[in-house]
Structure 1
Amino acid sequence: MKNKNILWLYIFLFVGIIDLVLTAEQNSESRIYSKPFIIIPLAIYFYQISKNLKGTILRKALLAALAFSWLGDVLLLYPKLFLYGLGSFLMAHICFVISFKLSQEKPFEIGQVNFIKLFLYNLPIYIPAAVVYYMIQPNLGAMQIPVVIYILVIVTMVTTARERFKKTNSSSFWQVFIGAFVFMISDGILALNMFFQQFPESGVMVMGTYMLAQLLIVMGIRAHFFN
């Protein structure tokens, strides 16, 4: 059964590589047949391996995150639907936050909080987000409020991943944290290309980091329960 499930990961990688090739060739017309199928095998993989978690909020939240990511992938194929794609990924990040919070020991335990220490721990996350916003802000126009909200949510996702430190096994923590951080990098590259300066390598960089991020997050959540 495990071998059969791993097959879905190979399909995910295969479709992803095809999409990267088409992206590098700037073949946007053919990507209509590749990009929508990237997340599907990864979602099926998690669905299959998490049957022991059936009915849990965690399972529903992560599957919802992948579903919203799929919807975002489809919507972002069409420039006129960018805002709707942004909204779909916003919902995906909220679902990831829920997933990260629930995939740790004693997720709702409230202890003493040192806000200064917490701020310093999260500073390496805040700085790149702030730099990207500073660079794109002059060109945002009417998109400023949606983009600010999106940045706040994705920063929350990454900080939630960081807060799992010592609340799960090291394999789960590092995979989820690196995945979340790489996701922020992917979105940052996309934002810089759209609102600061376009560069031809951006498409491959965005999709490459995006697929790596999704894979790491799913495998990291898996490691928390099935390591």
Structure 2
Amino acid sequence: MQQKGIIWLYLYLIAGLADMAMIIQELDTFRFITKPLILLSLAIYFLTTTSVIKNSLLRKAIGAALLFSLAGDILLLFPNLFLYGLGAFLIAIICYIIGFKLTQNHQINLRNINFLKLFFYNLPIYIFATLVYFLINDNLHQLKTPVIIYILAMVMMVSTARERFKRTNLQSFVQVFLGAALFMVSDSILALDLFFQPIPSDGVLVMGTYILAQLLIVMGIRSHLVYSPKSTDRTKNT
């Protein structure tokens, strides 16, 4: 499982660097090649390295998240399709939330959840999201409702990633949580650039954090499968 499909991972990194180079050189036409290639190669990498959980809900959820992310990347290449791109990423986030829930080594019991403690653990995430919304709110106009829904979904994704602490191996937790957090940072930079004020080198910052985010999430899910054999057996039957 360690070496299988490694060529797709290299292609992912090369495509990511090439896409950022196109941004720097302002060669937007070539991004119709480089940008879709990023998530396409990562999706193939994930699917070729997770045959051990073939037909499982986890593999379907993460695979769908990557494919909807790919769709979102393509749609955002067209400014007039921004809302559709937002919708594609919203579905991707929901799929990631499902995947994060499935890679927790515990049974969910609402009676044992300390909601006050949970709130304070997630408070930095809430504050960050609230601050971003406060800054962009005045310029959202007709996009206000879909953006609010998207922000709430993003907060839930990062919170779910944080809740995996001590419910998976440490490597998987760190990778997934950092990936989810960087995903939120990437979207926040994009939102601030579009709806608050221009950010220097915004394209490189958005894609750089986004590429690292997606990679960390995928590697974190794989780490859960590789280093949590009991969880792997349980996930195969999900």
> TM-score with structure 1 length normalisation?
0.97
Aligned to 2:81: 81
CA deviations on 1:53-110 (whole Å, 9 max, x unpaired) are 0111000000000000000000000000000000000000000000000011124344
Aligned to 1:7: 7
Pairing 1:48–2:48 present: yes
What is the rounded CA distance, in whole Å, between the counterparts of 1:102 and 1:23 in structure 2?
36
What is the rounded CA distance, in whole Å, between the counterparts of 1:7 and 1:109 in structure 2?
41
Aligned to 2:225: 225
What is the rounded CA distance, in whole Å, between the counterparts of 2:139 and 2:2 in structure 1?
49
What is the rounded CA distance, in whole Å, between the counterparts of 2:34 and 2:105 in structure 1?
38
> TM-score with structure 2 length normalisation?
0.93
Once structures 1 and 2 are overlaid, which stretch shifts more, 42-51 or 209-218? 42-51
Pairing 1:170–2:179 present: no
Cα deviation, residue 114, structure 1: 1.7
Amino acid at match of 2:93: H
Cα deviation, residue 111, structure 1: 4.5
Aligned to 1:96: 96
Aligned to 2:209: 209
CA deviations on 1:122-177 (whole Å, 9 max, x unpaired) are 01111111100000000000000000000000000000000111000000001000
For the aligned residues, what is the CA RMSD?
1.1
Cα deviation, residue 30, structure 1: 1.4
Once structures 1 and 2 are overlaid, which stretch shifts more, 185-194 or 19-28? 19-28
| Residues 211, 220 of structure 1: alpha-carbon distance in 2 compared, 3 angstrom cutoff | same
What is the rounded CA distance, in whole Å, between the counterparts of 1:69 and 1:78 in structure 2?
15
Contact 1:72 1:88 in 2 (8 A): yes
Aligned to 1:30: 30
Find the residue that maps to 1:34 and give its secondary structure.
Answer: helix
Find the residue that maps to 2:175 and give its secondary structure.
Answer: helix
What is the rounded CA distance, in whole Å, between the counterparts of 1:134 and 1:149 in structure 2?
15
| Residues 55, 137 of structure 1: alpha-carbon distance in 2 compared, 3 angstrom cutoff | same
Aligned to 1:117: 117
Cα deviation, residue 7, structure 1: 1.4
Runs of 5+ consecutive residues of structure 1 not aligned to the other structure: none
Contact 1:101 1:107 in 2 (8 A): no
Find the residue that maps to 2:121 and give its secondary structure.
Answer: helix
Pairing 1:189–2:203 present: no
Aligned to 1:63: 63
| Residues 174, 6 of structure 1: alpha-carbon distance in 2 compared, 3 angstrom cutoff | same
Cα deviation, residue 4, structure 1: 4.6
Aligned to 1:126: 126
What is the rounded CA distance, in whole Å, between the counterparts of 2:209 and 2:128 in structure 1?
16
Contact 2:4 2:49 in 1 (8 A): no
Pairing 1:108–2:108 present: yes
What is the rounded CA distance, in whole Å, between the counterparts of 2:168 and 2:110 in structure 1?
17
Runs of 5+ consecutive residues of structure 2 not aligned to the other structure: 228-238
Q: Percent identity?
A: 55
